Amino acid sequence: MSYLIIPQSYKPLMTVQQTEQGIKLIKEFFQQNLSTGLQLRRVTAPLFVLKGMGINDDLNGVERAVTFPIKDLGDAKAEVVHSLAKWKRLTLAEYGVKPGYGIYTDMNAIRADESLGNLHSLYVDQWDWERTITPGDRNLTFLKRIVRKIYSAMLRTEYLINETYPQLEPFLAREVFFIHSEELRRLYPDKTPKEREDAVCREHGAVFIMGIGGKLGDGEPHDLRAPDYDDWTTPNEDGFIGLNGDLLVWNPILQRAMELSSMGIRVDRESLLRQLDLCGQQERKELYFHKKLLAGELPLSIGGGIGQSRLCMLFLQKAHIGEIQASIWPDDMRAACTKAGIQLI
């Protein structure tokens, strides 16, 4: 069985019909608040891209993309997207989006290598967003300001849901606590990265962990990141390395930390070259996306993804993401969920 948490005495607080209505309400309300707060306009996004152009995201750098041949292109291979970080930056350039403004889209993906569980599914749905910035915005102060805007949209959404469904009580912390992954390691030197996340989220409720991807003082990264979208090697004003991070909150149902968003200031020419060298992937410089970036044809940007099903799961106080979205689950996981009163779609 894949990793599964069964909360003690779990009982859904909403009917299936209320759940479906709640999902619609959350998605409509949150994306409007997100687009207003960050000055984003909605665009249409692809489900797949051509293989070999460097446009698809590699996430941690090891996940395999779902591929298929295209008959009318001589069986050229297409890949189902993992996310749209690089595609969005190309789109900012194509649409000529000015600094201070950006785009967002509904991203749907298949991640065949995902370890299935309460928070992880083969099917991924996100609000993927990207915003053009200036050279002066490439700092930690600006990153924190954007994180706070996103979290404010989450707080407003929670308020609406609690007003609509009184059986749901609010639980989100009022503010985000910021900490660098190296500070977190020093705070809990005997814990694994995931145990550190649980500990800091249990204490603070909502946490943004910065500097994801680079090696820490013990020689290990907090988590892996591909070298060609987030900037995780540029020093910031606190003296640490990295201009990206993960937004996590404490999930009272599962009693663990829950990641809602991964985001960051994107690589510029210097940090891309540095990170490709660190990862031994200099050959990527010959790919379509990377050539355009190195040639100065793409704008500086900040961006990320926000899990749609995860946000709905959190606000509707569900124990499993399969209560929000339709997907495929192992038979033993379905049986265990049914026994525990967790109704998977």
3-state SS class at 289: helix
The catalytically annotated residue of 31, 58, 111, 231 is 111
Residue from 225, 183, 228, 224 nearest 204 by CA: 183
> Distance between CA 8 and CA 320 in Å, rounded?
13
Residue 109, both tokens: 């993906």
CA angle 327, 165, 174 (to 5 degrees): 90
> Distance between CA 176 and CA 169 in Å, rounded?
19
Residue type at position 275? Q
65 DSSP assignment: P
Q: Can 57 be counted among the known catalytic residues? A: yes
Burial class (CB in 10 A: 0-12, 13-18, 19+), 279: middle
Say which residues have a Cβ less than 8 Å from residue 13's Cβ, sequence separation at least 6.
165, 167, 168, 316, 317
Phi and psi, residue 205, nearest 5°: 85, -50
Q: Can 259 be counted among the known catalytic residues? A: yes
Residue 281, both tokens: 């992937």
DSSP H helices in 188-307: 193-204, 269-278, 288-294
Residue from 178, 177, 172, 180 nearest 153 by CA: 172
Decide if 344 contacts 337 (C-beta within 8 A). Answer: yes
3-state SS class at 108: strand
Q: Can 327 be counted among the known catalytic residues? A: no
The catalytically annotated residue of 31, 35, 181, 262 is 262
Phi and psi, residue 237, nearest 5°: -70, -15
Q: Can 94 be counted among the known catalytic residues? A: no
The catalytically annotated residue of 35, 57, 125, 228 is 57
Decide if 104 contacts 306 (C-beta within 8 A). Answer: no
The catalytically annotated residue of 31, 35, 121, 126 is 126
Q: List the catalytic residues.
A: 57, 111, 126, 246, 259, 262
